[in-house]
A and B are shown apart, each in its own frame.
Chain A
């Protein structure tokens, strides 16, 4: 089931029954075209961005389970959590693909980018990528080369900043309680 021989793939990961292909961002269009035509992933389900700034900084200890995983039959088990492994770069652009066919399948394609890097748009491969990429641009500031109309989609056009980045504050107002000075 795992696609093999896909061009541009740096490594293949399997977890929780899902396949993730880590791809070289410079060859993303080639990879996606191959996946669409040769492997039959005809539907682009989602394009998301993830910002890994500050990854792994929240500490290690937890009462959850052993390093290998948790044993449901030994609910009192203690142990330490796995330390989250370092991520190669700050941003990840994640494509979820679906094969609508008699033998359905899903795959996730991840491309790692640094701040300020650009990546080619896959609008030519699946037109569905249009608004998804606009949203990633709006929320993270990642530029997609070759996108026909890369403007902000969710925030107002004159908004400054990219909200889903980790260094962008959540915002809002401090809650005032009646009776406090």
Chain B
């Protein structure tokens, strides 16, 4: 895990050093808020966009999810590929079965203890940067199953960026989760494994 990043981290706060005073809250205001406006004016003044923003734009523009459908939520995950909910607008219709080519792991469905080992293996095989969405109640917290065999939340084995509630979440709800993930990325929030660390 010792790839030294040469790009300045968010914590270097280049925008703050350039005079930014407001803060970004991810919600409730979905529209451009004070933060975005200040940032834009600073960038206009400096006539640059930071490299991280460009990289984040590229990463969020075509994240490839991994086919990790487990149970009922997988059916709703498949339906975001269908023509009504069309995830191809976001460049994400290419579900990659090989974790080595995937950016996003959407855990859709209940994770059992028996499945936890292969799931962790898939997560480890993904290359950085990688994001995880825990889709549905079962992946987020064990859902309605609080028993000997269901893992109570998939964030016990790897760090999760976005939890999408629902049983199963509507395709629109999953897309909302994906779009919030894109917003997080573009706002410069690093993937969850950098914030929370990964247990070995």
Contacts and interface: CB of A to CB of B under 8 A. Distances in A.
Question: Do A and B contact each other directly (Cβ–Cβ < 8 Å)?
Answer: yes
Interface of A: 155-156, 163, 168-173, 175
B146 A155 contact: no
Most buried by B among A155, A168, A172, A175: A172
Interface in B117-158: 142, 145-150, 152
B149 A173 contact: no
6 contacts: A155-B114, A156-B114, A163-B148, A171-B147, A172-B152, A173-B152
A175 B146 contact: yes
Q: Is the interface of A mostly helix, strand, loop or mixed?
A: loop
B146 A172 contact: yes
Given A171-B147, A172-B142, A172-B146, A156 B152 contact: no
B113 A173 contact: no
Contacts of A172: 142, 145-148, 150, 152
Contacts of A156: 113-114
B146 A173 contact: yes
Contacts of B145: 172
Contacts of B147: 170-172
Nearest to B113: A156
A156 B116 CA distance: 11
Contacts of B150: 172
A170 B113 contact: no
A175 B148 CA distance: 14
Contacts of A169: 148
A172 B147 CA distance: 4
A155 B150 CA distance: 11
When A and B form their complex, which 3 residue pairs have the shortest distance between CB atoms, in order from nearest? A171-B148, A172-B146, A156-B114
Contacts of B146: 170-173, 175
Interface in B49-78: none
A25 to B, nearest CB: 28
Most buried by A among B142, B148, B150: B148
Most buried by B among A163, A169, A173: A173
A155 B142 CA distance: 18
A173 B145 CA distance: 10
A139 to B, nearest CB: 11
A171 B112 CA distance: 13
Contacts of B114: 155-156
B149 A155 contact: yes
A169 B147 CA distance: 8
B9 to A, nearest CB: 30
A170 B142 CA distance: 14
B25 to A, nearest CB: 20
A172 B152 CA distance: 7
A173 B147 CA distance: 7
Most buried by A among B142, B146, B150: B146
Contacts of B113: 156
Nearest to A170: B147
A155 B147 CA distance: 13
A94 B152 CA distance: 33
A150 B114 CA distance: 19
Contacts of A168: 148
A19 to B, nearest CB: 34
Contacts of A163: 148-149
Interface in B25-61: none
A165 B149 CA distance: 15
